[in-house]
Amino acid sequence: MKLSVRTAAAVAALAVATACAPQTSGGSSSGKDEKTGTLRVWLFQEVDNAPKQKVVDAAVAAFKKTHKGTEVTVEYIPVETRAQRVKAAFNDPKSAPDVIEYGNTDTAGYVKDGGLADITKEFNGWSEAKDTDPTARQSVTVDGKIYGAPYFVGVRALYYRTDVLKDLDLEVPKTQDELAETARKIHAARPDLYGLAVGGAYTYGAMPFIWSRGGELAEGKGGSYSSTIDSAQAQKGIKAYTSLFGSANCPAAKCAGMGGNDTVTAFASGKAGMAIGGDFSHAAIEAGKVKGKYAVVPLPGVKPGSVAPAFAGGNNIGVLKSTSHRTLAVDLMKQLASKKTQGALFEAMGFLPTYTDVRQQVATEEPFVEPFVKTLASGAKFVPASPAWAQIDASLVLPTMFQEVISGKKDVAAASKDAAEKMNDAFSSVG
């Protein structure tokens, strides 16, 4: 997940037990594995944290009931300051928590820093883990080893105005070519609307266009990643996405600088006929002017009936390598990331469960979830499991590439070549 996905979920605030621990994968760096005492937990603070806290309190109570002589203190930390807090914890085990929540794109960096415990054996021996979504499992995996449990997942799909399509006698797009054509028709008939709201800084709205054409961000593993954003397939996707900017749909002057939240806001406020938004965008859109006048379908792929691969954002729960309560910490991690807890988190916050069976269950209870569940089931994608990704993301390599093409400063080949070089520099710096 990109943490922005988790943050958006918090802003939207829409929204299973105890497992025994098998033999551990390795000892704690503290050299201890105490079976009683106090466990410290750091979780992210939501905009409206009360519903989350209620779910967590119930999970902690269940844990303490089966682990006598154990206390648990939970601290909710701001997402914005997580980097400093976590780095300090890695460097000072005495003040560090035993269990933490972290964004799934942070996994590789935290592993490189030596902060997370390898819990491969415990995870593989956990009965509930067999139902974990493969992409969510990938988000806790670095070079074949597992460093946490997936906590929740978020993906994007296509929101569209049912009233606008009906008034203009337009069908719901079934391919990306139809999507672009429909967007142009909406904007031509309703110049006050973006046909499809898109953003030059909306990396995870753009990636489905690249992935659906066979393009990838990079190839390899660990420290040996090499960018493929300038491949022929990726360039086709970049061209398809950037062609959506301009006077025929979403004017570059207004849309080149927009991010994901901007595009969702445009749709929610009635300024767009369509937008690519997440399950975590649902509450914000429901609170907007288009309530009752929209629907959601999976973002179509290149071929009719296909679904474009979406980025699987979300958060994980991990155990710090420095813990002196290794076995207890793993048990608490399982309790916090269990099917029961994830089901309760969905009800409280709208966070999509990482278990395929639990996700199907919530989809039957809440119809709005169905397109997102279908998107995940069709095969979502993740970022390279490299500590370099945080650097690539923070330095805006991909938004810069899109914006250079949109502005006409560079063509697709030149912009993607430059982006690939920047990505490779980052990959090399951590290799």
* Dihedrals phi, psi of 290, to nearest 5 degrees: -95, 10
Mean pLDDT computed over 411-421: 98
pLDDT above 80: residue 11: no
**Strand 141-142 relative to strand 145-146: parallel, antiparallel, unpaired?**
antiparallel
* Separation CA 181–CA 110 (nearest Å): 43
In this structure, are residues 317 and 99 in contact, taking their beta carbons and an 8 Å threshold? yes
Strands 156-161 and 194-197: unpaired
- Asked whether the beta carbons of 97 and 115 are under 8 A apart, the reply is no
Determine the Cα–Cα distance for residues 400 and 351; give it in Å rounded to an integer.
30
Residue 13 has pLDDT above 80, yes or no: no
> Is the separation of the CB atoms in 66 and 360 below 8 Å?
no
- Mean pLDDT for the stretch of residues 64-80: 94
Contacts of 127 (CB under 8 A, 6+ apart): 19
Residue type, 174: K
Give residue for tokens 């601290």. 75
Indicate the pLDDT class of residue 32, thresholds 50, 70 and 90. confident
User: Tell me: the pLDDT tens digits for 37-54?
Assistant: 999 999 999 878 899 999
pLDDT at 22 over 70: no
- Over 80: is that where the pLDDT of 25 sits? no
Q: Three-class SS of residue 250? A: strand
Query: Residue 75: which pLDDT band, with cuts at 50, 70 and 90?
Result: very high
Return d(Cα 375, Cα 146) in angstroms, integer: 25
pLDDT digits (tens, 9 = 90+) for 141-162: 999 999 999 999 999 999 999 9
- Range 212-219 average pLDDT: 98
The mean predicted confidence, pLDDT, of the chain is 91
| DSSP track, 252-319 | HHHHTT--HHHHHHHHHTT-EEEEEEEGGGHHHHHTSTTTTSEEEEPPB-SSTT-B---B-EEEEEEE
pTM over 0.85: no
311-342 pLDDT tens trace = 999 999 999 999 999 999 999 999 999 999 99
Question: Among the listed ranges 15-19, 242-246, 327-331, 421-425, which one has the minimum average pLDDT value?
Answer: 15-19
Q: How far is CA 269 from CA 12, 15, 201, 363, 378, in A?
A: 15, 22, 20, 26, 30
